[in-house]
Amino acid sequence: MRLKRHPANPVLAPDPNHAWEALNVFNCGVVHHNGLFHMLYRAQGFDYISRIGYAVSADGVHWNRLGEPVLAPHMGDDDYRGNEDPRVTPLEGAFYMCYTAYGAGGLYFPMVARSENLIVWEDIGPLERARNKDHVLFPQKIAGRYAILHRRPPDIWIAFSDDLVNWTDHRVIMSPRPDNSVGWDNTCIGASGVPVRCDAGWLLFYHGYNEFHVYRQSVALLDGDDPTRVISRPQEFFMEPEETWEFKGDVPNVVFSCANPVVNDTLYFYYAGADRLIGLATAPLADVIDFARKG
Ligand code: BMA
Residue ranges of domains in the chain? 15-294
In contact, 238 and 217? CB cutoff 8 Å: yes
Q: 206 near 156, Cβ under 8 Å?
A: yes
Instruction: Work out which ligand 1 atom sits closest to the CA atom of 272.
Output: 10
| 162 confidence band (pLDDT: 50, 70, 90) | very high
State the closest ligand 1 atom to the C-alpha of 215, by its place in the atom list counted from 1: 6
Nearest to 258 by CA among 181, 118, 149, 168: 149
Q: Which atom of ligand 1 is nearest to the CA of 275?
A: 10
Sequential DSSP letters for 24-68:
EEEEEEEEEETTEEEEEEEEE-TT--EEEEEEEESSSSS-EE-SS
> What number is the average pLDDT over the span 26-40?
98
User: Sign of torsion, CA 40 206 136 3?
Assistant: positive
Task: Reply yes or no on whether the pLDDT at 100 is more than 80.
Answer: yes
pLDDT tens profile 42-61: 999 999 999 999 999 999 99
Confidence class for position 168, pLDDT limits 50, 70, 90: very high
Distances (CA, A) of 266 to 27, 140, 196, 256, 281: 20, 21, 12, 19, 10
Per the CB < 8 A criterion, the answer to whether 265 and 287 are in contact is: no
Sequential DSSP letters for 161-205? ESSSSS-EEEEEEE---TT-TT-SSSSEEEE-S--EEETTEEEEE
Mutate to test the pocket of ligand 1, among 136, 240, 254 (most ligand atoms within 8 A of CB): 254
Please identify, by atom number, the ligand 1 atom nearest to the C-alpha of residue 84.
9
CATH architecture of 15-294: 5 Propeller (2.115)
Nearest residue (CA) to ligand 1, atom 11: 256
**77 has a pLDDT exceeding 90:** yes
Buried b (16+ CB within 10 A) or exposed e, 2-37: ebebbeebbbbebeeebebbbbbbbbbbbbbeeeeb
Task: Tell me the best of 253, 256, 277 to mutate to test the pocket of ligand 1, counting ligand atoms within 8 Å of each CB and taking the most.
Answer: 256
- Torsion from C-alpha of 207, 257, 278, 260, nearest 10 degrees: 140
187 neighbors 154 (Cβ within 8 angstroms): yes
The answer, yes or no, to whether any atom of ligand 1 lies below 6 A from the CB of 246, is no
pTM, two decimal places: 0.97
- Residue 158's contacts (CB-CB under 8 Å, 6 or more residues apart) are 147, 148, 149, 150, 169, 170, 171, 173, 227, 228
Rounded Cα distance between 211 and 238, Å, is 19
Cβ of residue 133 lying under 6 Å from some atom of ligand 1: yes
Q: If you average pLDDT over residues 183-210, what whole number do you get?
A: 98
Q: Write down the pLDDT at residue 105.
A: 87
91 and 31 in contact (C-beta within 8 Å)? no
CA dist 43 and 47 (Å) reads 11
Ligand 1 and 256: CB distance under 6 A:
yes
Backbone angles phi, psi at 28, to 5 degrees: -135, 145
**Atom 9 of ligand 1 has which residue's CA nearest to it?**
85
Does 294 score more than 90 pLDDT?
A: no
pLDDT band with cut points at 50, 70 and 90 for residue 287: very high
- Asked if the peptide bond before residue 178 counts as cis, ω within 30 degrees of 0, the response is no
Q: What share of the chain is helix, strand, coil (3-state, %, to 5)?
A: 10, 50, 45
Atom of ligand 1 nearest to the CA of 134: 8
Question: Is the C-beta atom of 9 inside 6 A of ligand 1?
Answer: no
Is the pLDDT confidence value at 163 over 80? yes
Average pLDDT for the chain: 98
